[in-house]
Amino acid sequence: MKATTLEAHADGRGNALLRFAAPQAFFPLAGKMIPWFAALAVVFAVGGLYVSFFVAPTDFQQGESYRVIFIHVPAAWMSMFLYVVMAAWAAFGLILNTRLSGMMASAIAPTGALFTFIALWTGALWGKPTWGTWWVWDARLTSELILLFLYLGFIALTTAIDDPRRAERAGAVLAIVGVINVPIIYFSVKWWNTLHQGASVSLTKAPSMAATMLAGMFLMALAAWMYSFAAALWRVRSIILERERDALWVRERGGGA
């Protein structure tokens, strides 16, 4: 397969960063990073769950039911963040025509869909005791549900087209267009009159929760980040092996790590 412009530049100049735009170079690097991210995910998750469920005080209004937010909020954050990252990788692949970019977008999508589902599911668990119902067509909930459909649509579209390059281009268009939904999710509680409460953590305001609650929230968020990195890197290695299975370097590795 003829190298793309960016990959050819990397091979010719030996640039340390651009070199990893080639799947052959990125594959072993990803393999080295996965155990570290996986281990950090476990450490942060154990610490976060302990602080969230055993150290953080009981909320004076919602009681113990509020503790679901320690899973719900990080999952919601990751659902939006991963979609933006997925769309960015897809855009890089569309503009720069690099093979790895489309593979990374495909690798991120399932994890993003998982976190979106977790955010919706835990939101329903929180909504039942708080609002008295599992689901309302609230602006925040509805736009988050649309995000899940965007993830599933991206996955379905890219797997329905046999030619990987055509599939990546079609998926990139959908991913880029769908980015408009991310700010809608974030600002929905400000733009519309919704049942969903506003942000408890803001870059411009002091947090509206106790320090131990905030610590549990950020530990769980870090666990979600580390898990996402590990899962995406593991998945992209599988995609690379599938796409490059006829390449000499894959055969020399015996088709594995």
- On whether residue 1 sits in a domain, the answer given is no
- On whether residue 9 sits in a domain, the answer given is no
- On whether residue 206 sits in a domain, the answer given is yes
- On whether residue 8 sits in a domain, the answer given is no
Query: Please, which residues have CB within 8 angstroms of residue 221's CB and are 6 or more apart in sequence?
Result: 73, 74, 77, 78
User: 78: which 2 tokens?
Assistant: 């990751």
Under DSSP, the state recorded for 14 is -
Under DSSP, the state recorded for 225 is H
Question: What is the end-to-end Cα distance of the chain in Å, rounded?
Answer: 21
- On whether residue 157 sits in a domain, the answer given is yes
Predicted TM-score of the model (pTM):
0.84
What crossing angle do the helices spanning 164-178 and 99-131 adopt, rounded to 10°?
40
- On whether residue 121 sits in a domain, the answer given is yes
pLDDT in tens, the chain (257 residues): 444 444 444 444 445 555 667 788 888 899 999 999 999 999 999 999 999 889 887 776 666 677 888 999 999 999 999 999 999 999 999 998 888 999 999 999 999 999 999 999 998 888 777 677 777 788 888 899 999 999 999 999 999 998 988 999 999 999 999 999 999 988 876 765 565 555 555 544 555 567 888 899 999 999 999 999 999 999 999 999 888 877 776 777 765 55
- On whether residue 10 sits in a domain, the answer given is no
What is the tally of structural domains in the chain?
1
Q: Tell me which residue range forms the domain holding 213.
A: 34-252
- On whether residue 5 sits in a domain, the answer given is no
